[in-house]
């Protein structure tokens, strides 16, 4: 694990606020010169602390007004069946996130669609069409209270 000092933490905080900040802007905010900022960001990227830089898009602006959390249990839990399910889920464009979880269900999916009708088609035509699906339970987001991608780099 890489050593994250207070300056690295502050750089990470700034980049999570706005990945578009230039090295010059970060340097100015931290009272440093550009070169050490560049080197620190390069180190954070090469070590895997910064995985990638992306644009966060408003899903509603793209017509994706329904978010559902879909819990899925499989009939068979053999390694091959789990791996096949994971490969199949990775191909479904409606699935934004997928987690293998412990508890009553095996997987939790975050699914974004245009509306409830489109979600119903996703369930019946795509998800139910996958091999080994045992049970599916959906919960629908009524109001988003907090949504952040920022992760606190603690001491």
pTM of the model: 0.85
CATH number at residue 41: 1.10.10.10
SS3 134: strand
Same domain, 66 and 28: no
> Is residue 21 in a domain?
yes
Domain that includes residue 19, residue range? 6-46
pLDDT tens digits, one per residue of 20-76: 999 999 999 999 999 999 999 999 999 999 999 888 899 999 999 999 999 999 999
Same domain, 95 and 126: yes
For 77, list phi and psi in degrees, rounded to 5: -110, 20
Same domain, 36 and 101: no
Gap between the Cα atoms of 136 and 38, Å rounded: 47
Predicted confidence at residue 155, as pLDDT, reads 62
**Residue 17 CB neighbour total at 10 angstroms:** 10
């Amino acid at each position: 694990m890489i050593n994250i000092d207070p300056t690295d933490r502050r750089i990470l905080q700034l980049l999570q606020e706005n990945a578009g900040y230039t090295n010059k802007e970060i340097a100015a905010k931290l009272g440093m010169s550009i070169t050490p900022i560049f080197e620190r960001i390069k180190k954070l990227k090469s070590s895997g602390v910064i995985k990638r830089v992306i644009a966060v898009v408003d899903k509603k602006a793209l017509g994706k007004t329904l978010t559902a959390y879909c819990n899925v249990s499989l009939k068979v839990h053999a390694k091959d069946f789990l791996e096949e399910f994971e490969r199949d889920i990775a191909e479904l464009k409606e699935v934004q996130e997928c987690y293998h979880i412990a508890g009553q269900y095996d997987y939790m999916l975050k699914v974004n669609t245009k509306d409830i009708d489109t979600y119903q088609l996703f369930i019946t035509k795509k998800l139910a069409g996958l091999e080994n699906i045992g049970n599916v339970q959906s919960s629908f987001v009524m109001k988003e209270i907090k949504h952040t991608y920022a992760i606190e780099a603690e001491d």
